[in-house]
Structure 1
Amino acid sequence: MRPAELDRLTVAEAADRYVELVRARTVTGALSSSTAEVYARDVATLVELAGADAVLDDLTGADVDALLLAFARRPDGRLRSPSGGQSPSSQARFRRSISALFKHATLAGWVQINPMTASTVTSKERGGLRPQRRALTREQAQGLIGAARTLGDVAPPEGKRRDQRTELRDAVIVLLLATVGPRVSELVRANVEDFFTNDGVRYWRIFGKGGRTRDVPLPDDVAAVLQEYLARGRA
């Protein structure tokens, strides 16, 4: 149930209260600390774009549209050419972050109506995919996966130190990403002991966001390349 009285907070005051709440959720394990910091960073950007002294309840759907477009056009310092604006994934993340804030604001009585429901700007208007971010074609993807599957049968290259032989490692990375579909962060955090065998089936215990885990069975050909990598691909 919504509060009876509206609390007319400024954008800065609402942001401070919301970020404090988000960081408190890391204590219970509801959010990871890295996710909480992403929310905090996006909310800080909202304050910068909207103005710290603006009243949160005064923001309309048109204002939200303007904020989304302003964020999309901000230079991305991680890119070599910062003039291109934010990537589509960064834009989508920012929208999710401020949507979560306004959803809480509606329940907490900081706004009468959630302005996100009146936002009309589309992803295409925010910028869309850049040409250099196009995906592989089906044929290219199949060729990449096929090459990775055959690397387990290839003899290690001569003239390279053991720690320089990354072919099997790269094959395992491609196959796990393509067949299991983990987050890249989940793959990077994987340890040898996270891969185990149960009743003849090889599993990967994935440690996900918020401390959640899931055991995913690996296809036989992926498990075979993984075993080759563990046997002769690691120092």
Structure 2
Amino acid sequence: MRTDRAIDAYLRHISIERGLSEHTVAAYRRDLIVYRAWLSEHGIGDTADVRPALVAQFAAERASAQPPAAATSLARLQSSVRGLHRFLVREGIADADPSERLRPPKAPQRLPKALSIEQIEALLDAAGPAPGGAGVGMAGEDLLVRLRDRALLELLYATGARVSEVMQLDVDDLVGGGHGDVVRVRGKGAKERIVPVGSYARAAVDAYLGRSRPELSRRGHATPRLFLGARGAPMSRQGAWLVIQGAAERAGLEAHVSPHTFRHSFATHLLQGGADVRVVQELLGHASVATTQIYTHVTVDALRDVYLTSHPRAR
């Protein structure tokens, strides 16, 4: 099969059948465009002509390119190539997988950075008025937006959901459970999970739904999305990023804060509080507990610091 047709078929497969996100599919597309161009430069226009030595040469050249690419980028590029060739074998288009022996570079393990509970509380307070508060000093448009911002950040911290997952929430995804409120979160591969929502987050969301969202909704076309922008359209990931940056600046936090910081803090604080790692895995929507166990390293580091500063014979 021609390489361009093979790539198009594979991208349709991961988008429609596997349900990967638009951002993931776009990343795979960029990688495979690079791969197709490289094959074309070497006179290859059909996937049947790709041999293991050629795939190995492609990987080696990309690894030695200048300026050097990050290990994570190289790993994703090789994953895209392997995924394409495995797909062609599964579909009966190719007899063998020329990328079978390709091994991606091992990316250095970077421990996630979590905020302290005090920093999280300062960030939430800086985002908007606490539920039940009067919003002193705020009026009109400012109050509408800040109620939404508080609800957004409270929900990010309460659920540990990815910002893309929270942006996809509909109002009906908030459900009253038998033991309290829960939210339906749609994760990677369209997998759905149920995550409890604490009283603080639910109160903030209720304040937003009661006082802010109706007015924002009137400004745009009807949409079931939970979080809306100032013009009534569904809020974007970039909009959420700006909300977080604004709150971090008002809170005077020097640490870098991103949407994923809330997810890291959620997992770290749960484990520090005694939660089982497999429960945290389920709440985060990780396919493997190995992914979640990186947070246990963070809590062990915290325990070590306490030990070193507290035990009389630690040093």
Q: Which category of TM-score, normalised to the shorter sequence, fits these structures? A: 0.5 to 0.7
Quote the offset at 1:159 in angstroms: 4.9
Native 8 Å contact 1:49 1:67 kept in 2: no
Residues in 1 aligned to 2:87 and 2:13: alpha-carbon distance in whole angstroms: 14
Q: Which runs of 5+ in 2 are unaligned?
A: 216-315
Alignment coverage as a number of residue pairs: 200
Query: RMSD in angstroms over aligned alpha carbons?
Result: 3.7
- Provide Cα deviations, 1:164-186, integer angstroms capped at 9, x if missing partner: 54333222222322332222222
Residue of 77, 86, 111 corresponding to 1:94: 77
Please give the secondary structure, in 2, of the residue aligned with 1:226. helix
What's 1:138 paired with? 115
Q: State how far apart, in whole Å, the 1-side matches of 2:163 and 2:183 are.
A: 14
Q: Residues 39-77 of structure 1, C-alpha deviation per residue, up to 9 Å, x if partnerless? A: 33321122224545245313254531432554x949xxx
- AA at the equivalent of 2:19: L
Relative to structure 1, the CA distance from residue 207 to residue 123 in structure 2 (aligned partners, 3 Å threshold; closer, same or farther) is: closer
Residue type at the aligned position of 2:115: R
Check if 1:20 corresponds to 2:9: yes
Residues 107-129 of structure 1: per-residue CA shift (max 9 Å, x gap): 64344562423x5x4446xxx98
One-letter amino acid matched to 1:63 = F
Q: Counterparts of 1:182 and 1:73 in 2: how far apart (Å)?
A: 35
Q: Distance in 2 between matches of 1:31 and 1:97?
A: 16
Note closer, same or farther for the CA distance 1:138–1:232 as it changes in structure 2 (3 Å cut). same
Asked whether 1:64 is paired with 2:59, we answer: yes
Q: Distance in 2 between matches of 1:21 and 1:66?
A: 24
Cα separation, 2, equivalents of 1:106 and 1:24: 13
Which of 3, 26, 29 in structure 2 is aligned with 1:40?
29
Give the Å deviation of 1:211: 3.7
Instruction: State the 1:23 CA deviation.
Output: 0.8
Letter in 2 for 1:228: A
User: Structure 1 residues 90, 111: CA separation in 2 closer, same or farther (over 3 Å shift)?
Assistant: closer
Q: What code does the residue aligned with 2:32 have?
A: V
Gap change, CA 1:166 and 1:38, over 3 Å in 2 = same
Task: Report the equivalent of 1:4.
Answer: none
Q: Give the corresponding residue for 1:116.
A: 102
Unmatched segments (≥5 aa) in structure 1: 1-8, 75-84
Q: Aligned runs of 1:177-196 on 2, under 5 Å?
A: 177-196=156-175
1:163 Cα shift? Answer: 5.9
TM-score normalised by the chain length of structure 2: 0.50
Distance 1:168 1:65, change over 3 A: farther
2:38 and 2:58 in contact (8 A); partners too: no
Query: Relative contact order (alpha carbons < 8 A, sep ≥ 6): 1 or 2 greater?
Result: 1
Deviations 1:185-207 (A, max 9, x none): 22112222221212251111123
Tell me the TM-score normalized by structure 1.
Answer: 0.64
- Give percent identity, aligned residues only: 21
CA distance in structure 1 between the aligned counterparts of 2:67 and 2:156, rounded to whole angstroms: 31
Asked if 1:229 is matched to 2:208, the reply is: yes
Separation in 1 of the partners of 2:206 and 2:176? 11
- Asked if 2 retains the 8 angstrom alpha-carbon contact of 1:102 and 1:115, the reply is no
* 3-state SS of paired residue (1:138): coil
Distance (whole Å) between structure 1 residues aligned to residue 120 and residue 142 of structure 2: 23
